[in-house]
Amino acid sequence: MSVAEHALPAAEPGILSPQRRAMTIGLVSLVSLVAFEALAVATAMPTAAQALDGLSLYALAFGGVIAASVVGLVAAGRWCDVRGAAVPLQAGVVAFVVGLALAGLAPNMPLFVAGRIAQGFGQGLLLVATYVVVAKVYPSPLRPRLFAAFSAAWVVPSLVGPTISGLVVEHAGWRWVFLAVPFLALPALWMLRPGLRALPPPAPSDASVGFAHRRMAWSLVGAAGACALHYAGQRHDAAGFALIAAATVAVAVCAWRLLPAGVLVARRGLPAVIALRGIAAAAFFSTEVFVPLMLSRERGLSPVWAGLALTVGALGWSAGSWYQGTMSRKGPRPSVLRLGMTLIGGGVATVAATAWAHVPAAVGIAGWTIAGLGMGLAYPILAALALDLSAPGEEGVNSSALQLSEALTVATVLALGGSLFATLLETSPTLAFVASYAVSVALALLGMVVAGRCRR
């Protein structure tokens, strides 16, 4: 029985103890770099697309990352369980770095998109392998604290990423937004090398090669569906709506084939945990894309002030992560999940109130802080519960399923919500924003119900 399966002794070293310090810093650094790149690219992308004369591929430059990450997530799950997490993690970092370099040096938009696709595949490998390393190295009661550190690793990029990216684009050129990160990612990987060499061997797995190949085939179909959803969401014609319908069906079928049995009906235990990860992420991120737009378009705030809402939301997320991290020695507490989903729903509903002009914009910013607090409570606990409910040798597949649930659900809800928003915008901007937020509130209410099923 591994150390992760024992209760934490009183003298058990923490996540920053000498024997775990390098591993913890290396893992958190990689998560921070992925977070920074995700936020910085949004600032640099318009300039890059115009410079490469590739606005027609603008949506694909974002959707390709989501699509490729689906393939990486599936590949990493099987790879980690059969061969261990060290090689997939290293391969993920290499693919991430190669993708960034290709995008930063691309002479045209097709090669730029190819780099983004390689980057997304690397992210998929990296995220799953990171979870498996956590399962192998850190005892169960320490995992919520580490996942809280992962959540906090998104805060600094949320605060400074867009600003730094804008300064780099203005003074050094957009290419350095992509080319600078590899110089930071490789040292982080180097810090992990001793810990990766000491990982225990993977447990025997009965999964057949044919099963793995079928999962990879379905992941490719799911990737194509996610990419099509992202593209179709940018269109406002009949062909776009038809493509959304077909792609939604494709993603749903792939989710049924790729995710563990019972996830789509939120069966009690691990399936409910995996389902709730997708629900929570979709409720939060499908709102986040509209908050700055509403504050700038409808309330006349400058980009800096509109972006402030996202900053305080990140601070709320960090505060929630810190609070649940203080409970880590008691292990993950499923009861906190319902509170987290309640805060997300209440926060989004508060943001929706500012769609009416007589409600102060500060109310919406406060609401988004509350929603961030809810995500900070729920997100790390879901990750820890997924590992606690995984049998030995299944940490990779279940970590992959956790990330897949998020990627597929967020892609679907963003596309459908974006289409609803575009349809209503010309009729009534207020109705368009409120309808989009209503989708997120409905998801949060569903999440409150599913939270009660996240038990053994």
User: Cα dihedral sign for 147, 151, 157, 159?
Assistant: negative
Domain co-membership, 230 together with 286:
no
pLDDT digits (tens, 9 = 90+) for 130-179: 888 888 888 877 887 887 788 777 766 766 666 676 677 777 788 888 88
Q: CA–CA separation, 349 vs 367, rounded Å?
A: 8
Domain co-membership, 275 together with 416:
yes
Domain co-membership, 254 together with 326:
no
Total count of domains within the chain: 3
CA 272 to chain centre: 18
pLDDT digits (tens, 9 = 90+) for 81-123: 777 888 888 899 899 999 999 999 999 988 998 998 899 899 8
| Inside any domain, residue 153 | yes
CATH of the domain at 95: 1.20.1250.20
Q: Which one of 181, 201, 221 terminates a domain?
A: 201
pLDDT reading at 289 higher than 70:
yes
Q: CA–CA separation, 75 vs 91, rounded Å?
A: 11
| Inside any domain, residue 238 | yes
Residue 7's pLDDT band (boundaries 50, 70, 90)?
very low
Domain co-membership, 74 together with 147:
yes
Cβ proximity of 401 and 263 under 8 Å: yes
Q: Which one of 155, 172, 201 terminates a domain?
A: 201
Domain co-membership, 132 together with 231:
no
Domain co-membership, 230 together with 313:
no
Domain that holds residue 222: 208-258
Whole-model pTM over 0.85 = no
Domain co-membership, 318 together with 390:
yes
Burial class (CB in 10 A: 0-12, 13-18, 19+), 56: exposed
Q: CA–CA separation, 56 vs 3, rounded Å?
A: 52
Domain co-membership, 132 together with 213:
no
Cβ proximity of 106 and 112 under 8 Å: yes
Domain co-membership, 24 together with 169:
yes
Domain co-membership, 191 together with 146:
yes
Domain co-membership, 341 together with 378:
yes
| Inside any domain, residue 379 | yes
| Inside any domain, residue 4 | no
Domain co-membership, 285 together with 334:
yes
